[in-house]
Structure 1
Amino acid sequence: MFEALSIKMNFDEYIKEVDKFSDDEVVARLRKHLAEWKQDDTNVIKLADSIEHFFGNSWIGSEKIHNHLYRLWLHFKTEAITGIGGMTINERLYRFGLFERFDSVQTEAAQKVIYAKVCV
């Protein structure tokens, strides 16, 4: 159940990993927060802050699950958020699972919101 994932996982892969443990009420709240981020207008920096806050102020029932999900989060954060400056827009959209949202926008203003979300 704790198989190693690629360190270069994208946001959707991280959500799928969180899903495996969402029978824990706290993990289910984390899962909901992750999914809501994809639809809101906050950027990746605020995402990182909110997830760090979540892990620092929530108690997942199993320390093993907490450590597993936090370790994967740290890998994702390091690769995708800390390293975002060296990515193209397409890499950013892929890493954060935002291609579908980007493709569905109807206005330039909505497009700009997604650019801001991935710090372009």
Structure 2
Amino acid sequence: MNLDELVNSIPESDLRENLSHCVGEWKQDDKDIEVLTDLIRKWHGNVWFQEADASNKFHSEFQKFKSVAIDNIGGLTLNERLYWFGLFDAWGSGNETTQNRLRSKLRANA
């Protein structure tokens, strides 16, 4: 489950739209994956799901995403990083400056 799929897995539309907005802003800025981790943790800690099971499921899916995509970022190719963080379109339509920003965001500057 990549970042976009994680956001779309939220059953409550208002919560899904709110997190989608936050993630969309993150995709546009210069902040890296550590900021994304904090952003999602803070978001989850400050919202109320109608069902505790939905909240627990989101938390579990976020932990899986974090383990694969964030904690193991160094073992991923650039294409894998773009997939996990839903940034293929931004890469493909971006100029050199945008691509350099995405490399930095995804810690792929080597």
- Provide TM-score, normalisation by structure 1: 0.79
Q: 1:69 is matched with which residue?
A: 58
Name the % identity. 36
Does the 8 Å contact 2:2/2:83 carry over to 1?
yes
Query: Shift of the alpha carbon at 1:116?
Result: 1.0
- Structure 1 residue runs without a partner (length 5+): 1-8
- Stretches (4+) displaced over 6 A: none
Q: Distance in 2 between matches of 1:99 and 1:58?
A: 29
Q: Distance in 1 between matches of 2:42 and 2:2?
A: 21
Does the 8 Å contact 2:4/2:85 carry over to 1?
yes
Q: Distance in 1 between matches of 2:15 and 2:2?
A: 22
Query: Shift of the alpha carbon at 1:36?
Result: 2.8
Q: 1:102 is matched with which residue?
A: 91
Q: Distance in 1 between matches of 2:39 and 2:54?
A: 19
- Provide TM-score, normalisation by structure 2: 0.85
Amino acid at match of 2:6: Y
The alpha-carbon distance between structure 1 residues 98 and 27, as it changes in their structure 2 partners (threshold 3 A), is: closer
Residues 1:22 and 2:24 are matched in the alignment: no
Residues 1:117 and 2:105 are matched in the alignment: yes
Q: 1:46 is matched with which residue?
A: 35
- Structure 2 residue runs without a partner (length 5+): none
